[in-house]
A and B are shown apart, each in its own frame.
Chain A
Amino acid sequence: MEMEEKFDAIIVGAGASGLGAAYSLAKSGFNVVVLERGQRIGAKNVYGGRIYSHVFEKEIPGFKEDAPVERWVTGERLTFLDDSSAATLELSSDFSSENSFITTLSKFNEWLGKKVEETGGLVISGIKVDDLIIEGSTVKGIVAGEERLFADVVIDAEGVNPILAKKAGLRGDWNPHEVAVGVKEVIKLPESVIEDRFNLNHGEGAANLFLGYASRYGFGGGFLYTAKDTISIGVVVRVDSAIANRISVYDIVEDFRLHPYISKLIKDGSPIEYSAHLVPEAGIHGVPKLYGNGILLTGDAAGFVLNRGFTVRGVDFAFLSGVIAAETIRKAHEEGDFSASTLSHYEQRLKESVVFRELENFRKVPNLLSNLRFFETYPKLLCEILKDAYTVGEDSKKIYPLLKNKMRDRVSMITLIRDIISVVRNL
């Protein structure tokens, strides 16, 4: 057996958080290795949607010129769907804001991996980490097959399925109401067709979320993002809701694609990709213990995803959590101590960061979004009322009697007002 090399840090998982940590550490001269289970970086990624760019621009010089951005988001849409119609709120904004872009996470992470390698970090794909080396209560390294690798600290960036974090005693399994299953299809269409259909200039993109029919009126929703010459569409359904309503997520993606509103948008497109993934949905309530002796937890494994109903955010949080983990490790390295008490700096810094500020700000959202009225009653009501209001017959109806009539037996005016207030307060 040859002499075992000891690393400054071993990072498990080449996703946005693992690569963020590796990039930041490698840049300051640390000897790091990222171990990725997929055959290549990005092989296991599914997300094809919007990423907020601020933290990347701050950390990676020349980000805007170099990153695989497909379109900058200028069009925001929230659509309420019933079985056959749709009511859409649309915001068409200024191109120059450039604060979020659309890309494929798989390509994006591949690019981040290159950045890590350029700065001197090692990224190795096709390696499954089976276990942690734990001595006493301190993590000393990892086990992959027959081999053991040692480091001062392990960053657990393994993603939504936290096998190692459980072994390290940092967290347990997700509960069904804390995760959602997302299924995505990628539809190929010419660039110009996408721009015409979504009213976009060249290089501009649209992000569209859907409530109601998309998740079959259960907890969840649909999404549509325009990439360069593809459109990602799909459905995300909370696992408890899928179980309770006996929903097969694969079927409802089909139904979503065939909905008259969606099928027009993707007409003549050809499906080229199909994939599925779990998404943390518990907000701040899903955040477990974030550190132990010799270990830090980042990204999806730590539950750093925020769903506000009309927008989801996770990739930039993941990256930032990696960067903060790196900062913590630099401090621990200076002090020569990688025990939990030094590594607690990580949680402290995270709490000051946008990750916790946002999750904390929207603490009540997961509860709010546990209100089925947002997924069934209101999308249906909105579509029906607008349909009737715009239907001109002998005599047109006034909105208020229409609303009262539609609400009968479904929701009381008081509940409606209460719900509106809670949305305004908490979203």
Chain B
Amino acid sequence: MDIIVCVKQSYDVQQIKFDPKTGEPMLAGAPRKMSDMDRRALEEALRIREKVGGVVKTVSIGTPDSRDVVKEIYAMGADEAYILTDLKLEKADPDVTARLLSEMIKKIGNYDLILSGAASTDGYSWQVPAKVAAHLNLPFLPNAISINVNDAVMVDCDLGDAIYDYKAPLPCMVSVSLEINEPRIPTLSAILKASRKPFTEFHIKDFEVDLSPELEVISTAMPKVARKNFIVDASDASKLDEVRKIVDELRKENVI
């Protein structure tokens, strides 16, 4: 079984700071990590390989600072990693991403199954897997919470209203959700071995892909939380009544 997994190096969303004035995320130099659902897609691929044998390859694209993801991919146990990085990809939207990924997959060739996370930890658009499947003209099974493979693929898909059992012929594309598995934590010796394993780099010029995004991002900002910001100067004894009022108010709302 030849499996290709799409793996994104996301921003580590929990570590991102927001500019308190503008509400915009401060992304320059923000820490990165492998996208949570992609990590589970890779884990699932490794488990399938352990069961039925085969080869696990990964494809990744991103800006040059996302290259470290390869080390993690190898540390988890993938056989071959393919990556394309370019500064031009900073503004890549789901469409550009899917076009490039599918071209890379075509170039690698030979696959029975393509896996990816259903959405990335940072962009969270849920668009890319379906678009990749469309470009490659493959059947697409979204949001898998379990996958069984023999000569076809049987998948439990969580589509929100119910769990659907789907079956598709190979080759096909499956996107996985967070519930599908608990990914392994690489051992130190696996990390050490991974750190020197060579990987294949593609370049934008290898492909004839239109890099102009179809999406225009108008703004990215954190939600505003309105606070009452009511301050009483307690040094002034005449204001004590106001303090009592606030205490009563808070009691009424069961806050204290």
Interface residues of A (CB under 8 A from B): 2, 4-5, 33, 35, 39-40, 43, 107, 122, 124, 127, 144-147, 149, 188, 270-273
Contacts and interface: CB of A to CB of B under 8 A. Distances in A.
Given A145-B188, A147-B188, A270 B195 contact: no
B189 interface: yes
B20 A149 contact: no
A122 B31 contact: no
Given A122-B195, A270-B19, A272-B17, A107 B29 contact: yes
B195 A273 contact: no
B19 A147 contact: no
B188 A270 contact: no
Contacts of B227: none
A144 B21 contact: no
Contacts of A4: 189
- Is the contact region of chain B dominated by helix, strand, or loop, or is it mixed? loop
A33 B189 contact: no
A235 to B, nearest CB: 22
A273 B17 contact: yes
B192 A124 contact: yes
A39 B195 CA distance: 16
Contacts of A107: 29
A4 B193 CA distance: 11
Given A107-B29, A144-B188, A270-B20, 18 more contacts: A4-B189, A5-B192, A33-B192, A35-B188, A39-B33, A122-B192, A124-B191, A124-B192, A127-B188, A127-B191, A145-B187, A146-B187, A149-B192, A188-B19, A188-B21, A272-B17, A272-B20, A272-B26
A188 B20 contact: yes
Contacts of B26: 272
Contacts of A35: 188
B106 to A, nearest CB: 32
B195 A147 contact: no
Contacts of B20: 188, 270-272
14 contacts: A35-B188, A39-B31, A40-B31, A43-B31, A122-B195, A124-B191, A127-B188, A145-B187, A146-B187, A147-B187, A147-B188, A188-B20, A270-B19, A272-B26
Contact of B189 (A2, A39, A270): A2
Interface string B168-209: 000000000000000000011101100100000000000000
The 6 closest A-B pairs by CB, nearest first: A270-B20, A147-B188, A272-B17, A122-B195, A144-B188, A124-B191
Interface in B4-49: 17, 19-21, 26, 29, 31, 33
A286 B17 CA distance: 37
A39 B33 CA distance: 10
Contacts of B33: 39
Contacts of A272: 17, 19-20, 26
A272 B189 CA distance: 37
A270 B21 contact: yes
Contacts of A271: 20
Nearest to A144: B188
Interface centre among B17, B19, B192 (most CB of A within 10 A): B192
Contacts of A188: 19-21
Given A40-B31, A188-B20, A149 B195 contact: no
A58 to B, nearest CB: 26
